[in-house]
Structure 1
């Protein structure tokens, strides 16, 4: 993805970060199903889900949900998990 982490909070990123943690269980359970190592502690599960979703909110702000779902399907079908690399914005 290679996008820069924004210096402001765009709508899509606010949606990801504002999700109630219990709603993220679908993401971290799906990540576990495809072989991603997700910590067993609740904080680790939430962090793994956010770590997965944030790059989609930044690189696909208008359709981050669909892009994340497509990636989970790709992983389910045998794809390899490659964590996104985001560069921090510098002022």
Structure 2
């Protein structure tokens, strides 16, 4: 099923969950530009950004920011989403 959600919040996950709205908005806009269905409401944008970032933070706890940027660049270059870490994530 991908990445298991932990019983205790690791630092990387706490950092992602505590991101300010303007940073989540930037991720949501990048996802929208890549063709992902991101609802045009605050809740949808925030949820889409968190849905993208949480599995990355759990998979790359020491370097989740570079891993997220790398994944966005890979998708921008035409790569397919890594659905093993993000079940249900599709275009």
TM range (shorter): 0.7 to 0.9
- 1:14: which partner in 2? 14
Greater relative CO, 1 or 2 (CA 8 Å, sep 6+)? 1
- TM-score, with structure 1 as normaliser: 0.87
Q: How many residues align?
A: 85
Could you tell me which runs of 5 or more consecutive residues in structure 1 were left unpaired when the two chains were aligned. 86-91
Deviant stretches of 4+, over 6 Å: none
* CA radius of gyration, larger in: 1
User: Deviation of residue 39 (structure 1)?
Assistant: 0.3
User: Deviation of residue 35 (structure 1)?
Assistant: 0.6
- 1:51: which partner in 2? 51
Q: C-alpha deviations, 1:3-44, integer Å up to 9, x for none?
A: 211000000000000011122111001001111110001110
Q: How does 1:8-87 map to 2 (within 5 A)?
A: 8-83=8-83, 84-85=86-87
- TM-score, with structure 2 as normaliser: 0.87
User: Deviation of residue 82 (structure 1)?
Assistant: 4.1
Could you tell me which runs of 5 or more consecutive residues in structure 2 were left unpaired when the two chains were aligned. none
